[in-house]
Structure 1
């Protein structure tokens, strides 16, 4: 899967208005403006999850912020508000740890966002957004007008909302994986490379939900292999 094409914004909307990009596009005649973002690029385990969100024009600017700036409780509250917001809709995309290992994390993140857009389209009878705002440097491989926004989750309400939805769904998945693999305490650290997680990874070795292409996991695999063969890992 090739990288999405990077695009440039011809005229930067007003700073400080989280709906400025959306309003500019609405003013140009784009009716369904969506934002997409992912959660889970950095963890050592679990999937990368993306969301694609369409906000209604009457949405209050400033409600949604980058999910990393919010507590878990606040994220859940915002998802509840999004569900209750007339005209709001979203889709989700999930790419597994095994697929991340196969295609690399950047391509996996782009693929998750593509799946989220397609999921949103499926929920709306196959209708793709008129315009897509994408967090990051690259757009996704879909035939629709789109713009990549660096730090988009702090500049666009649609992208910020997508970051919240994606983070909440990924946390739910990691809680489910905790039930399957309780020895790693996924529910606590969500697969991120905390000191606790690294110690548990060393103690138990990786499970199928770990990203074997990530260096700490590779080192744990090597250490376990050396231990079985009696070799000195140094």
Structure 2
């Protein structure tokens, strides 16, 4: 059940209230990706929205289109494996979030600077006021929307990556460390899209 953080901050005079979440943090392959999104405060919430991990793929896809249609502004931020290996996954996740904020645009392509950030359990290096919310993807509607958009967006990237790197079954496990994926890495070695710093931590490879 969502707590109405958006209404609380709207009543305090905040106009552009952005929710932020990331996906792909624990994957062995591909980018870590974040979504920043601003949803209208004065409209009914889309019924059934919750943390993307608690929704079926079919529901996520349906909600994705609804969220995009209703959003005031949206931004996607990506950080590629090479940078993840250089700066570590926590810093890369924060960078993806900062890029998502920087990329916030409305439907006409105008840049929108948020007044406040509602972030799922993270604090990032920005001058914009921010509120880290534990289990935010469950408790906060806007963060739930960000989690769904981020997940669907990255899953679609995985479908594209799977065609380029056919040996690894990326379309099935989305880059995470399943047995299928680990066995493929043992058989073919890591690709240029694998996070080598993650693989070094796993002695069986």
Q: Structure 2 regions of 5+ residues with no counterpart?
A: none
Distance 2:153 2:128 in 1: 26
Distance 1:186 1:166 in 2: 17
Structure-2 residue corresponding to 1:228? none
Task: Report the alpha carbon displacement of residue 217 of structure 1 after superposing the two structures with TM.
Answer: 7.0
Structure-2 residue corresponding to 1:213? 197
Structure-2 residue corresponding to 1:60? 45
Out of 18, 33, 38, the position equivalent to 2:17 is 33
Inter-CA distance 119–19: structure 2 relative to 1 (3 Å threshold): farther
Task: Report the alpha carbon displacement of residue 61 of structure 1 after superposing the two structures with TM.
Answer: 6.2
Task: Report the alpha carbon displacement of residue 149 of structure 1 after superposing the two structures with TM.
Answer: 1.0
Structure-2 residue corresponding to 1:6? none
Is 1:139 the equivalent of 2:133? no
Structure-2 residue corresponding to 1:107? 91
Q: Secondary structure of the equivalent of 2:104?
A: helix
TM-score normalized by structure 1?
Answer: 0.81
Distance 2:57 2:25 in 1: 18
Q: Secondary structure of the equivalent of 1:143?
A: coil
Is 1:79 the equivalent of 2:80? no
Show CA shifts across 1:71-123 (max 9, x none). 111111001111232x5321100100111111111111111011111100587
Q: Secondary structure of the equivalent of 2:14?
A: coil
Q: Secondary structure of the equivalent of 2:74?
A: strand
